[in-house]
Structure 1
Amino acid sequence: MTAFVLVSGPFTGGEVWREVAARLEESGAEVYPATLTGLGERREAGGPDTGLETHIEDVVRLIDGVEGTELVIVGHDYGIHPVLGAADRRPERIARIVYLDAGLPQDGDAAVQLVPDEEVRRRLLDPADRDGGTGWIDPPAADGWQRWGSTAGLSEEALARLTGLASPQPSATFTQPLRLSGALATVPTSGIFCTESGMSIAKLEGLMTLGMPQFKALADPRVSFFDLDTGHWPMLSRPDELAELLLGAAAGEGHRLAAAPAQELPGYLRPFVLDVPEQTRERIGRVDLYLPADPDGAGAAGANPADAAGANPVDAAGANLAGAAGAAGAADTAAAPRPAVLFVHGGPVPETVRPTPRDWTTYVGYGRYAASQGVIGATLDHRLHSLADYPLAAADVAEAVELLRADPRVDGDRIALWFFSGGGPLSADWLSAPPSWLRCLAVTYPILAPLPGWQGVDSRFRPVDALAGAGRLPVVLTRVGLEVTEIAATVEEFVAAAEARGTDLQVIDVPHGHHGFDTVDPTDESRAAVEQAVRSVLGHL
């Protein structure tokens, strides 16, 4: 016999599953809807100390109370956090975990990172104003639920019921990090996308083509996916259909993603499209500098050479970079300073990925090519490891800029910033208020607005909106004709906004190019596009 444990999203308890539970029980399954401490009829049991750990223990007790059968455990939205925490402690009891319109939290992640309501997320992240001192986050009013997820498919009656069932949630349940031991690595999983929330199987498969390492695990044969054409509360909008999908998941059904051939290198590790010579590379903390050769052949911009593998010691903490840069360049301040281009990688890239982005062939290639053209190329490893890390990554970029401008070999008044892929949102800070020394901003196959399912990204990181402050800053955009549909939509929105505002925008098209064309499409078209983009950027320096 199949038994289901159902854990709902924020502000709601077990009652929200009523129709789904009835349908599952009609099929012969056992059903255990969870009401977590501080929610629903258990409101009085919660308090300011109620956190994620409390909710994990709630689910563990529920699991332990079901005898003799393995469980399918379902987490909706926030509910996936206590589901994963509990399953990690009882993996032998779990037949399958179902992610219902939920994120993919990892060890150390807190639910606040994916809170879609930006105002609430900011308050939770600010210790001085976490919850107004109450220890609780109030649920939205009837007209505010769309800020927490799509309300598509909800009748007025269902929306009124959702509002009536909702209760405040203890703040610490959002801010305590999830701790996982790795015990769930072999537990089968299923994902159910509520397509009106912005994600679907087809869109996921499109994102899979980018070759990012965090997607590899989703091609495991133990992982299946379903689409459900409704909004974020399917237990109220489509309960019968949801019950059918949960039964299918329990039976091991669902769509499987195709894995890339084992021998195939990910796109970011394939050879760069241009055959560029090696250049002296100097590593300072999170930043690598590619230095042009001295015109007299005496070395690279008067620097002590570092080998191409970046053998200089890495300052992992990235501390005091400006001072380190000044020391590195002190050996030769007589040479005329040169302009510089900082290449900013995309992401999110999991922290454990090796090699790190600055050693990917894409960025090594651009850095070397810039140096071969007589300017200083710079790359960095910024800390965009999750969608919540854009502010941290933005700080890393700003720090790298200061490093460059402090280096005596660099002309601090002639800098270009060049953003790639998921690094595109980081361009917003520089577009919104470009400093005088920023001579050009470039973006290549960029994401220029949050993608579907990216509700946790701060609205500060919307280059489309930031164009309002760009003024006369030249922008060089390289776009590919075979782009992922969702990414292409953000690029077209950006182009339309730039045209409407009179932005100095140059568009370089690669009609037959894919995302990552500069390594995955070794064609004359690709080579010409890279050369044209570099020529354009350097022309502004």
Structure 2
Amino acid sequence: MTTYVLLHGGGMGGWVWRHVAAPLRAAGHEVLTPTFTGFGERVHLLSKDHGHDVHVQDVVGVLRYEDVSDVVLVGHSFAGTVIPGVVATEGGRIRRIVYLDAVMSYSGESVSETMGQMLADQMPGVRAAVQGGQAGPGTDVHVMQRELLRANPHDVPAERMEWLLEHLSDMPLRSVVDPVAVGVETLPRTTEYIAAKNDPTMARSHERAVELGWQMHEWKADHSFIVGQPEQVADFLLGHG
């Protein structure tokens, strides 16, 4: 039996893996879907004091207290910035790492910088504003995502899209402006990356995965494929060990 630990993207939570987790469990595997502090059902903990380092600890705590090993660690979108810190701390528990169209931040770089949303010289001012209460504590990402997805729907069945939109939540601003302590350059070349080629949003991260020599898989899909094509995701995870 393999333990799959599935880490969600921005504005989401462990709930988003419902349709991927079901076939993995049906195949006899254990599936854990933790939610980061300040996201999803834990959005009530959203705070200016909860940043990227807390999200790494969220996952480290799950691995330790669930006492799991032989883990397949999977991250979608924002979770790509959390995985390296988890591996640096609990790498002995992890057998395989899979990025699903996930963010590729280098050590010392924030998610906002990686995504081209802000420049490095803007970050100190934004961080000071968050800490001083002049900005945040949230990003309003759920509002922005709803507007974008309604204006430009992804390849997701209508009923499931409404489910996705309804469940989106805010997330801590610090999680996208704090520098990532441990970046993707620390991960092994055996890390696998699935690139959704129908969505240019993550193009910079796709390029970095290639530059690092990771095992690349290009899918004709958009960024929401974990909800729109969950069977394909589960088959990939099962079929590749």
Q: Normalization by structure 1: what TM-score? A: 0.39
- Secondary structure of the corresponding residue to residue 74 of structure 2: strand
- Indicate the residue corresponding to 1:478 in structure 2: none
Shift of the alpha carbon at 1:183?
9.9
Deviations 1:323-356 (A, max 9, x none): xxxxxxxxxxxxxxxxxxxxxxxxxxxxxxxxxx
Shift of the alpha carbon at 1:15?
0.5
Q: Which amino acid aligns with 1:72?
A: V
- Secondary structure of the corresponding residue to residue 233 of structure 2: helix
Return closer, same or farther for 1:84/1:146 CA change in 2, 3 Å cut-off: farther
Q: Which amino acid aligns with 1:95?
A: R
- Indicate the residue corresponding to 1:164 in structure 2: 166
Shift of the alpha carbon at 1:185?
4.5
| Distance in 2 (alpha carbons) for counterparts of 1:155 and 1:109 | 36
Q: Which amino acid aligns with 1:194?
A: A
Shift of the alpha carbon at 1:184?
4.7
| Distance in 1 (alpha carbons) for counterparts of 2:47 and 2:209 | 36
- Indicate the residue corresponding to 1:133 in structure 2: 135
Deviations 1:283-337 (A, max 9, x none): xxxxxxxxxxxxxxxxxxxxxxxxxxxxxxxxxxxxxxxxxxxxxxxxxxxxxxx
Matched, 1:144 2:154: no
Deviations 1:477-496 (A, max 9, x none): xxxxxxxxxxxxxxxxxxxx
Deviations 1:343-390 (A, max 9, x none): xxxxxxxxxxxxxxxxxxxxxxxxxxxxxxxxxxxxxxxxxxxxxxxx
Structure 1: tracts of 5 or more residues without a match:
208-212, 252-541
Q: Which of 178, 181, 199 in structure 2 is aligned with 1:179?
A: 181
- Indicate the residue corresponding to 1:155 in structure 2: 157
Instruction: Flag the structure with higher strand content.
Output: 1
- Indicate the residue corresponding to 1:217 in structure 2: 212
Deviations 1:74-124 (A, max 9, x none): 1111111112211111111111111110232221121112347x5xx58x8
- Greater C-alpha Rg: 1
Q: Which amino acid aligns with 2:224?
A: W
Are the aligned partners of 1:87 and 1:184 in contact in 2 as well (CA < 8 Å)? no
Instruction: Flag the structure with higher helix content.
Output: 2
- Secondary structure of the corresponding residue to residue 169 of structure 1: coil
- Indicate the residue corresponding to 1:9 in structure 2: 9
Q: Alignment length, in residue pairs?
A: 230
> What pairs with 1:141-540 in structure 2 (closer than 5 Å)?
142-145=146-149, 151-180=153-182, 184-186=186-188, 188-198=190-200, 215=210, 217-218=212-213, 223-249=214-240, 251=241
Shift of the alpha carbon at 1:25?
0.8
> What pairs with 1:24-43 in structure 2 (closer than 5 Å)?
24-43=24-43
Identity of aligned residues (%): 26
| Distance in 2 (alpha carbons) for counterparts of 1:62 and 1:152 | 32
Deviations 1:418-462 (A, max 9, x none): xxxxxxxxxxxxxxxxxxxxxxxxxxxxxxxxxxxxxxxxxxxxx
Shift of the alpha carbon at 1:159?
2.5
Return closer, same or farther for 1:156/1:17 CA change in 2, 3 Å cut-off: same
Shift of the alpha carbon at 1:151?
4.5
- Secondary structure of the corresponding residue to residue 84 of structure 2: helix
- Indicate the residue corresponding to 2:89 in structure 1: 89
Return closer, same or farther for 1:238/1:183 CA change in 2, 3 Å cut-off: closer
- Secondary structure of the corresponding residue to residue 212 of structure 2: helix
Q: Which amino acid aligns with 1:217?
A: L
Q: Which amino acid aligns with 2:212?
A: A
Q: Normalization by structure 2: what TM-score? A: 0.83
Are the aligned partners of 1:59 and 1:86 in contact in 2 as well (CA < 8 Å)? yes
Shift of the alpha carbon at 1:63?
1.4
Shift of the alpha carbon at 1:4?
0.9
Return closer, same or farther for 1:187/1:93 CA change in 2, 3 Å cut-off: farther
Shift of the alpha carbon at 1:68?
4.8
**CA RMSD for the aligned pairs?**
3.0
